[in-house]
Amino acid sequence: MLLTKNLAIDLGSSNTRVYAQGTGIVLNEPSACAFNVVDREVIAVGDEAKGMIGRTPGDVLSVRPIQHGTVNDLIITKAMFRYFMRYLHCSVFPMFRPKLVICIPYGLTDMERRVLVDVAVQAGFSDSGTYLLEQPVATAIAAGMNVMAPTGNMIVDIGGGLTEVAIVSLGGVVTSRSIKIAGDTMDQQIVKFVQREFNLLIGERTAEQIKIRLANAYFDPYMEEEKMEIKGRDCESGLPKIVEITNFQAAMAIRESVDAIAEAVLGTLEHTPPELAADIMENGMALSGGSALLRGLDRVLAEKTGMKVTLLEDPTSAVVTGGGLVLENLKKYKNALVPLRSFI
């Protein structure tokens, strides 16, 4: 029972993860919600809703309400949040309101931060018991870095909708660069590539499978060829069609995204204070986020920067794990939290 447990939550574009104090990660579900377009009644959330994307009748829509780290549909996001709280049996009582740490992208505006706090408050949490923690700081904590020390730590978090590159020191972000190019962008580029090369329409779920099974950020013309059979709709005839795509083609499809991520890393390094740059050259950078699992990405970044690149042991859950560690020791990490008064 999680009725009175303090929670940390990572509302990601692709997945929502929840950490319960004293327990660990208790929820990891797609950030998807299916609802009736007439009365906006929620039909399904999470895995079930994701499975409906592209397969619903006209009166039902399945969407991901969080895009590029920001709330795209406030009403649906609130409904999804409430569903996850009920799923965890997390009831909030007036006499006892659990604390909540929300992990947020560094580049959010004050208004976007306020929206996330409102989502929590309307689910029953209080303003005073809701804390915001920047995702790069959370990731650094999960990686075992001493973020409260005057030492430079570099985080590259590549999620579904956003890539965030940040230098963390003294409990905060010193410099950062965010780009709306990440895993979802790669999926979209694969969809366009398949349409252009094979005259075939495929969905983003199929594109995601191509990315996971075949794509490689490091293009090597001598790598062993791998193939995958994909099904879609022929653009001319409109009939179902099956083709084969290779790992070489998948690598070509995502090349633009990989180059943009590498440029974001280089751009952040160029704006890093010299003293912190020396720390980073010695310690290297940490890769996190679901899209950091893309094959060859660590090798590409290592060659582009000349630095050591470390893929975290569990990159997909690094943010919420860091949020959970802060939750377990709020006093220690008090100065790493974003003050609510700064944007209310």
pTM over 0.95: no
Same domain, 14 and 106: yes
Q: Above 60 in pLDDT, residue 2? A: no
Domain that holds residue 268: 148-181+258-315
Q: Above 90 in pLDDT, residue 153? A: yes
Same domain, 201 and 248: yes
Task: Please identify, among 209, 230, 255, the residue that sits at the C-terminal boundary of a domain.
Answer: 255
Same domain, 323 and 310: no
The pLDDT assigned to 39 comes to 84
pLDDT single digits (tens) 224-252:
999 999 999 999 999 999 999 999 999 99
Same domain, 154 and 244: no
Alpha carbon 287 to its chain centroid, in Å, reads: 12
The pLDDT assigned to 1 comes to 47
pLDDT single digits (tens) 258-282:
999 999 999 999 999 999 999 999 9
Same domain, 195 and 246: yes
Percentage of the chain lying above the pLDDT 90 cut: 66
Q: Are 17 and 28 in contact (CB under 8 A)?
A: yes
**Arithmetic mean of pLDDT, 93-104:** 78
The pLDDT assigned to 95 comes to 58
Structural domain total, the chain: 3
Please list the residues that pair with 332 across neighbouring strands. none
The CB-based long-range contact list for 327-330 (8 Å cut-off, 24+ gap) reads: 327/6, 327/7, 327/8, 327/19, 327/21, 327/99, 327/101, 328/21, 328/22, 330/99, 330/131
